[in-house]
Structure formats: structure tokens, C-alpha cells
Structure 1
Amino acid sequence: MTTLGSASAAPGETDTGRLEVGEARDGSPVALPVAVINGARDGKTLYVQAASDGDELNGVGVIQRVVPQLDPADVVGEILVVGIVNYHAFQVAEHRNPIDDTKMNRAYPGDENGTSSERIAAATYGVASRADLIVDLHQGSTSRMIDEVRVRCGRHHRLHNECLRLAKTFGCGYILDQKGPDGQLARAGPDDGIPTVDPELGGAVGWDEESIRKGVDGIYNVLYGYGFLDGTCETSSQTRAKGFDQYGSPAGGLVRFKKDLGDSVSVGDVLFEVTDVFGGLKARVTADGPGLFWRSRRLPQVASGEYVCSVGTDIDTV
């Protein structure tokens, strides 16, 4: 029998339930939606979570589609799912937990006696640490961004190769291989010996069906590639970036992009222009180095110094 919060499934069964992580301001329980798919045959354990940032919804869309498709009679091992991690932020469609103004993916492995975010991180990490593999579904918030998978442990980490293999197996086509900030689940997992990746499924207001489809395909690639389902996973070459160049606006006005997501960038290429409201040119920003146009703001209006776009750098194929 496998349990996760109130969900409990015998071999060959699926169950859903709730994982209590604290109390709301009115004293009512705060409980996250969870699922257990307990395979008919013994094997590895996969942990999947979504919406640790409350406005990153594409991962929720992935879980909404994958869980009902999985027949536990066909599964080898266990799949543990937390469908929405950042409960408070999700309720108000915000990025950060409004209870403590914290970005949840900076709170891992958490503290069961700490802040709201630290308590939720501790509860979900207690589940994740039972797994052999961790997939933490994200997106570029409401920015426009290519679909990618992030390897955040750092290229000198003892588990780097295992995390890179997991990223390639997920198979979005693009990988960011750059050490992440302290407190990320994709940092905490490898430190405890668990290969972990952070798929960033594009960026959207609401959710984006194409990015969700890529996420569904990615989860199935992992299920096939690591033996949770019978079948084969064809791992193709991935484009990897090892860093970012970020560009802000030198002037206030309206942005007009000259590159689109995934475009190759050479030194001196025009990335964007800034105009006044009458179309008069105020600034033109060019690339400092080569790379791929990776991420950009969604709304056109900017203040001087405000973030506009990012170029993935140090590109190779893995």
C-alpha cells in the first residue's frame, strides 16, 4: 500500500486525496491535491509536482491530462504527484506566496516549523525525497519563453550526468544547464542523491496548449525511458545553453522585437527597438554575444532599465 496524504493505493490502483500543509487565516486546513499511481509491478518511484509558483499553470495542465490516462495495471513502480504546491499563490493567481511574500522555489528543502512557504516546502519535499527521480514542472511565469528543461545542480555536481540524462529524456529540445539559486527543488534533490529537473514549459497567461502537450510528451518520455511503462523512448539531441545574457531597456517607451523565440543571435544583431507612442525611435539594442533568443517580456511598455529579454549563451548540442 502506498500513501500520500489521504490518498492510498494498493498495487494496481490509483487514488487521489489531500496533503495537509498547515492552516489558513480562518483556521481551516490547507491541503494540497495529490495523487498516487501504484503500479501492478514493483519498480522505481517518480515524483512530479506543479505550481510551486502560483501563476505557472502549464504544469497543472500536464498533470490534469497525464494522471487520468495512466492505467496502474500498466505501471511498473510508483508515481507520486502533488498537483498544486503553492496553495495560497494559486488561489489568487500570483507568483509568490502572499502569506509570507516568498517564492516557493527558494524555500527547499523547507522547515516544518518555519514560514508558510517553508512548511509547504518541507511537506512536499518529504514526499519528493521518497522518489528515485523528481520532475518539478514550471514555466516562465507570464513571460514569453521557449520550452526547456533546466538542470540546476551545477556542472561539477556528482549527480550532474544523471540530471542531464533526465533532462534529455524529458526531451523539450532545449536545456539550460546552469547552477540555480539556493532553495530550488532542483538543487535540493540532487544534494540528497535524487536526479531532479525543472522543465520550464514556455510562458503563458493562463495556460498554453502547445507547451502543455510538450510537457505531457515529456512525462511519458520519462515513464518510457526509465521503465515505468513498457516501451521505448527515443532520446534525440538537445540544444543546451550554459548561461544567459539579460537585456534591459535604455529608455522608456514601447518595445518592438526584431528576434523571435528560438532565433539564432550573432554579435551585433538587433534584438529590439524602443519607440515613443508615436513610433519615433528612441533606442536600438544589439546583442553583446552569440546565442539563442530565449525569453522576452510579454507586454510592450517598458521603463528605462526594465527587463526586456534574455539570450541563451554558450550553446552546444548534447
Structure 2
Amino acid sequence: MHIRDFDSATLPPAQKAATWLDVAGRADGNQWRLPLLTITGTAKGPTLVVTAAVHGDEYEGVETIRQVYHQIDPAQLRGTVLMVPVCNVPAYETAQRSSPIDGLNLARVFPGEINGTITQRIAYWMREKLLQVADFYIDLHSGGVAATIPTLIGYLHDEGPLGQRSLAGARAFGAPVLWGHPLPIASGRTVSAATDLGVPWLYTEAPGGGYARPEDVACFTQGVINVMRWLAMLDGTPAPQPTTHHLFGDGDLDSVITATVAGYFRAEVE
């Protein structure tokens, strides 16, 4: 099925399904496709969208989505869960942050272009078919192979209803570090696209390193389930792990501090 033909409103109730959604043709005659996992409940409720591997060298979210998919019983669910375990398929196939096809960073091209490069098309269809229908959005990231980032949950820090709902979701998710980002959110991101659509959102980070630490996968998996309980999609009360630091800032990880002398960096704290 081409992704343009996908309509989450037509999914039958009380089932799990795994499918591939065609996005664009490949040079070898095959298709660039996005994997989609769906879970529909027995009763109506919110639509939660969860994505991972927007960068192709980040694996924690991929395993998190697999675990959430297997743990959730449709008979116990209210609403719909839409999950894409690998968004940036070209980058994932080569374990790179950005696409080897067009050199673009999927997390910098939203809202995308319907007739653009493969990365721009993926962004366009993610916005049109996933973010547009979401009542809440979680984007699972980590440091990948090039960065080390504390295990954290990021959210929109704003006094308006969108920010307050994002903060409540972050507290329900639970992570060692909460990081609030004030408006305006930098353009091109999944979460800036969600903000423009009025969808409350969270994103994660973790140390990365080219592999998925079990403790980070456990944190993210429990966090997604916590949010589902907070949204009343599942029975039960969220059980977030304790937060040790609550930070505020623009979240711009593209900026760097350049050393003024030669040597190596020795951290005083983890």
C-alpha cells in the first residue's frame, strides 16, 4: 500500500497489525517503505503516535517499539496506537544519522515536500498520515554513534494548554532528566511540526553509542506505557522512575563549544 492510501480511521478495532507503507521508488525498482505497527482497542480513545530511528544510528527506540507492540493487549486498550520503528530507512540501512541518498537529516526537513527527495517525502508523509491524526506524540531518540546524552525526556515548556499537557505527559513518562524547551521550537523537527499542528509531544534521548542499553530501553518502554495509562488508554496508574534533574533550555544540540587549547575532555560528573 502506498502511504497516501493509508487511513488510520479505517483500521478495524481490537487487533494488532504490521504493514509496510510505500513512500517512493528505489533505483533498483523496489520501494522505499516505512514499517508501521498498529494496535487498535475495543473502545474509542486517543490516538498515540510513537516514532523511532528518525536518525539511522539510534536503536533504543526501535527496540522500545517492538516491546510495546508485544506487551499491549488490544482487548485492554482504548484508542489507537500508531508506531513507526524505523522512520529514516535509508539511514538505518547504513547506520548513519542522515540519509546516504540525499545527505539530509530527517529531523531538520519537516514539514517536508510531497515531490522532494526521499528524506523530504518521508517527512511530508509522516506529518500528513501520523502527526495530523495524533492526540499525543512521542519521538524516541538517543545520542547515536557520535554523541553521549543523558537519559532524558524532553517536552514543550509553555504556560499554554499545549505546554501544560506536554509537561504532564513528561512527568507521567518518567526519566532521570526532564528537559523543557520554550517556544519557539527550532524549525524542521518532528516536534516543531507537532507544535504547529497543536499536538502535545515528548521526545527522548539516551547515551547511545551505537547500541541500545537495556536500562534505556526499559525506561522508554515503561515510559510509553505510563503515558498510555495517563491518557486513559490503559487501566492503571503511571509508575514513572524518579527524576533527578529538571532542566530548561532551547534544546539546540547542534551548537558546540569549541576548546581553546589542545587536550582531551575529562568530566567531573557523569
Per-residue CA deviations over 1:2-28 (Å, capped at 9, x if unaligned) read: x98499852111110011111222231
Residue 156 (structure 1) shift: 6.3
Query: Is residue 145 of structure 2 the alignment partner of residue 136 of structure 1?
Result: no
1:186 and 2:188 correspond: no
Deviations 1:75-98 (A, max 9, x none): 110000111000100000000011
The aligned residue for residue 111 of structure 1 is: 113
Question: Comparing both chains, which one has the higher relative contact order based on Cα–Cα distances under 8 Å and sequence gaps of 6 or more?
Answer: 2
Q: Which has the higher helix share?
A: 2
Q: Deviations over 1:162-212 (max 9, x none)?
A: 222222221113122124420111111122111011111332222211111
1:150 maps to 154
Higher deviation after alignment, 37-46 or 108-117: 108-117
- Higher normalized strand content (fraction of residues): 1
The residue identity in structure 1 corresponding to 2:246 is R
CA gap of 1:148–1:91, structure 2 versus 1, over 3 A, is same
Tell whether the 8 Å contact from 1:201 to 1:212 is kept in structure 2 after alignment: no
1:28 aligned residue: 30
Unaligned runs of 5+ in 1: 262-318
TM-score for the superposition, normalised by structure 1: 0.75
Q: 1:167 matched to which residue of 2?
A: 170
Count of aligned pairs = 257
Shift in alpha-carbon separation, 1:156–1:43, aligned structure 2, 3 A:
closer
What is the percentage of aligned positions where both structures have the same residue?
Answer: 28
Q: Distance in 1 between matches of 2:165 and 2:19?
A: 31
CA contact (8 A) 1:168 1:238 kept: no
Structure 2 partner of 1:259? 268
Using structure 2 for the length normalisation, give the TM-score.
Answer: 0.87
Matched-pair contact (CA < 8 Å) for 1:85–1:120: yes
Residue number among 241, 248, 260 corresponding to 1:250 in the alignment: 260
Q: Tell me, yes or no, if the aligned pair for 1:59 and 1:201 is still in contact at 8 Å.
A: no
- 1:246 to partner: Cα distance: 5.2
2:238 alignment counterpart: 233
CA RMSD of aligned residues (A): 2.4
Question: Distance between the aligned counterparts of 1:6 and 1:161, measured in 2?
Answer: 29
Q: What secondary structure is seen at the aligned counterpart in 2 of 1:73?
A: helix
Contact kept, 8 Å, 2:148 with 2:206, in 1: the verdict is no
